A and B are shown apart, each in its own frame.
Chain A
Amino acid sequence: MPFISNTDEQRKQMLEEIGVASFEELLKGIPEDLIITKPLNLDKPLSEFEVTKKVNELAAKNTNTSEMVSFLGAGIYDHFIPAAVNYVIGRPEFYSAYTPYQAEVSQGTLQFIYEYQTLICELTGMYASNASMYDGATACAEALLLALRHNKNKKVLISSLVHPHYKQVIETYINPLEPEIVYIPHNNGRIDIEKFKQEMTADVSAVLIPSPNFLGVIENIEAIEPIIHENKKALFIVSTDPLSLMLFNPPGKYNVDVVVGEGQVLGSSQNLGGPLFGFFAVTQKLIRKMPGRIVGATVDTNGQKGYVLTLQAREQHIRRDKATSNICTNESLCTLAATVYMVLMGKQGLREVAEQSTIKAHYLYDKICKIDGFEAANSGPFFKEFAVKPPIAPAEIISKMKDKGYFAGVDISKYGYENQLLIAVTEKRTRQELDAFVDELEKLVK
């Protein structure tokens, strides 16, 4: 049998030592009608060679983004990943270790998590970071759960410009606590501040604002914050693209209470949308309310520095039904990729990634908006993604441009942004590709 070491002879010896005649005897006591007697209806087993062939064929049936010129975004982006990232995460010492439960033989994992936490704090301007959540959507949901527990208020205000999938995840997560969810209306790509003020009542538990939002636009966090914190209890949660923090003022600068977001842009491939990872950072006063694992530095019996999982009294294995979250396994290896990625790119490189993506996105935006019939959908300042209204249906553009070698963007009509195409640009796109894309669009709508 594949992947089994023991031989029939060894199994016989072992059964003898156990004192039974057969494996079946070990199942004695289990109601017989529960034990299946016929084979499961599964394909017959393949050899390693055959399965390799099959899997290669399946992979080849997909069109990968490097065969195309891709402008797909909506939360998952095609940034460049240096080879050293995958080299490090492929090391079995990291790849094949469990959660660092025995700290003395897990210092590699624990130290990189400590470094990861530091990097996230640096980016967000926050005091503390956990070791990761499942993805950006669940990080938002957990932040709202934190707030609902923290201040016991029942009303949550969420920007209507949150990613529509996040909206679904958030509702699934928090509905059982029966909060009153109010979506803050938007106007021209940003939340409508006047309407927001009206909703910002004393019973608000938390306000969640994505920035950049689903349409790529940066919100005015500086103006929003004082409105929220007039209510002493309410928590301000910002969800963000960590790369944007290389360019724009970090939420930590504006007294934001919780900063969360999707971390895939930091060194993970697109992976059809998973694995991803969520980052989660808070102010000092909220550390003990944070979900998930946290690594802390300490010393060993010789006074030598080392790292452990800490503040575990928040977690499910200690607090059970009083825990701050039910999360156990997280997305550790993706945070290792993020750590190595941030370290390699460093202070300059990461800024350059953010700058190039932005400059190229704005270049493309300007050109597309000049095509006859195309209109900008919004006017707010945007990062690396923007929405436009084409003269023909977005679905038609996507389908026709696909035949020309482009993933033209995401049709967001289905999310209520009528007749809009969402276009993302990363540093990987060249000027030539952008110009050619514009030419093709022009031809298409002529």
Chain B
Amino acid sequence: MATKTIFEKSISGRKGYTLPQCEIDNNISEIFPNGLLRKDPPRLPEVSELDAVRHYIEISDKNHFIEKGFYPLGSCTMKYNPKINDIVNVLTGFTDIHPMQPEDTIQGALQVMYELQNELAEISGMAAVSLQPVAGAHGEFTGVNIIYNYHKNKGQHRTKIIMPDSSHGTNPATSAVHGFEVVELKSNKEGKVDIQALKEVLDNDVAGFMLTNPNTLGVFETDVKEIADLIHSVDGLMYMDGANLNAMLGYIRPGDMGFDIVHFNMHKTFSTPHGGGGPGGGGIGVSEKLVEYLPVPIVKKKDDIYYLDYDARYSIGKVHSYFGNFLVMVRAYIYLKMLGDKGLKSVAENAVINSNYLMVKLLSEYPVPYKKNIMHEFVACGEKFKEYGVKTLDIAKRLLDYGFHAPTIYFPLIVHEALMIEPTETESKETLDNFAEVMLKIAQEAKENPELLKEAPQNTPVTRLDETNAIRNLDISRNLRRKK
């Protein structure tokens, strides 16, 4: 059932708050010149606390979430996030501190940041880390900005960033906002960077190379060192999109592969719940030659005192008002303290085993075009179901009927009718078996009763939604004033 909006539940004069008495006798209209004051107050709803809470609980019930069920959303690393992380929400020593407080009153917070910087540097094999970016794409922004400034400092005008055609949309978008021309390389038969094609586009206009490793097909780029050598031979910089770092924690490090910059997707790899699309964290690590380019401040320590250091010779400046998403940092800190080296390694092991296992279970119906060196996720191709009039979208929607979230679909672009599946390390064999069973059943349904898929989902709070209509009859706010 559709739920009314909160605006439709408003009753004039109803209140859902209390505030202390003002105790100061004054009037706004006496403080300000008349022209400034707003005469038509915003039409906010008027509801009781119960109305409000019930409304949001009612709509929340329509969401899928990780505690409810499997969430094999490829590239998104929907692992289960331990509840211990959430103590951060109730520790006022973390939530109720202001970024402009004197440093001696935030020593605990600075210690968390300092240790996390060091741990991430160790895990990634990079020389230094900034925690300031607040999402993966924000980390990319910071990294590509460093690439831009690195060349500019050397008096060079570099114009191109290279990346494979399997790259995530944020990679070309980030390059473009810096004015770089994006050169997309066609992937080779194994789904990896085509070295020959790379050599052909390599010249002194190249500012850098953006690579996800394992790449978005879940395939490890085994030639990564050769790629790095080639890029470095023209003084380009190697950027690693770290969205898939989960696959190699404790085993393989970006720094050792020759990357100059890597972003961490803190909300994927280091266990911050996604909150329906953020907040996340996108800290970056850099190699020795780029340390002086990091955004300021960085947390440092002297004589057991932690402090914010704004001294970086070539710093790109700032990318966030303050230090980044601090609460996300605390969650990562807790998580890493509980895992240690062995725990991290077991994350990678289980993520890779789970993904390979699920792939093998599904292969009979869902071919995987690139399956050599599969790591934490794989991309199946749903092309063959077209024969029955069934698209990957239909398979995804049918999965919802069975209580699973769908995989990522239609990405990466180089696999037709792509189904990108990432089980993560926290899921059990039983869950994977159940999911595989349902996937195989759906394949049968596609052949025998394709309408079931095309009309899916039916067991969800709403049936399939009309996206074209949403654009044609654009309704993106209640437009209470119908104002142009």
Contact = CB atoms under 8 A, between A and B. Distances in A.
Interface string A276-296: 110000011001000001111
Most A-side CB within 10 Å, residue of B93, B96, B253? B96
A274 B477 contact: no
Nearest to A66: B96
A168 interface: yes
Interface stretch (B196-204, B229-237, B313-321, B439-447): B313-321
A113 B277 CA distance: 11
Interface string B82-110: 10101111011111111111100111110
Given A14-B353, A72-B101, A103 B172 contact: no
A218 interface: yes
Given A4-B425, A331-B278, A274 B319 contact: no
Interface stretch (A118-126, A199-207, A225-233): A118-126
Interface in B441-484: 455, 457, 460-467, 469-471, 473-481, 483-484
B138 to A, nearest CB: 6
B225 A34 contact: yes
B358 to A, nearest CB: 9
Given A58-B111, A326-B170, A305 B2 contact: yes
A298 B38 contact: no
A328 B480 contact: no
B328 A275 contact: yes
B456 to A, nearest CB: 9
B319 A138 contact: yes
B37 A247 contact: yes
B289 interface: no
Contact of B320 (A3, A6, A134, A296): A134
Contacts of B89: 86, 90
Contacts of B7: 115, 118
Contacts of A13: 429
Contacts of A381: 31-33, 36
Contact of A92 (B22, B65, B361, B405): B65
Contacts, number: 667
B373 interface: yes
Contacts of A123: 42
A47 B80 CA distance: 18
Contact of A56 (B67, B80, B91): B91
A359 interface: yes
Nearest to B38: A249
Interface residues of B, number: 202
Interface stretch (A188-196, A347-355, A385-393, A437-445): A347-355
Given A30-B252, A106-B63, A134-B138, A11 B318 contact: no
Contact of A87 (B53, B341, B411): B53
B73 interface: yes
Interface string A307-336: 110110001111111110111111111101
A323 B175 CA distance: 11
A298 B96 contact: no
A136 B37 contact: no
A139 to B, nearest CB: 10
B67 A96 contact: yes
A31 B59 contact: no
A301 B276 contact: no
A87 B321 CA distance: 27
Contact of A119 (B44, B319, B346): B44
A29 B372 contact: yes
Interface string A82-125: 10101111111111111111111111110111110111111101
A310 B328 CA distance: 28
A51 B317 contact: no
B466 A298 contact: yes
Nearest to A354: B28
A154 interface: no
Contacts of B321: 75-76, 135-137, 163, 165-166, 169, 262, 273-274, 276
Given A104-B465, A247-B28, A320-B173, A11 B353 contact: yes
B216 to A, nearest CB: 12
B106 A270 contact: no
Given A40-B341, A134-B138, A308-B465, A76 B322 contact: yes
B38 to A, nearest CB: 5
A172 B42 contact: no
A275 B337 contact: no
Contacts of B352: 23, 26-27
Interface string B12-29: 001111011011101010
Contacts of B174: 326
Contacts of A31: 222, 225
Contact of B279 (A54, A112, A331): A331
A398 B104 CA distance: 12
B76 A328 contact: no
A20 B173 CA distance: 39
B136 A64 contact: no
A318 B108 CA distance: 42
Contacts of A271: 94-95, 97, 325-327
18 contacts: A31-B225, A59-B94, A100-B277, A104-B462, A125-B483, A178-B179, A262-B321, A272-B109, A272-B323, A273-B322, A274-B324, A298-B466, A298-B469, A310-B474, A323-B169, A329-B274, A356-B22, A407-B98
| Top 3 A-B pairs, shortest CB-CB distance | A273-B322, A59-B93, A333-B275
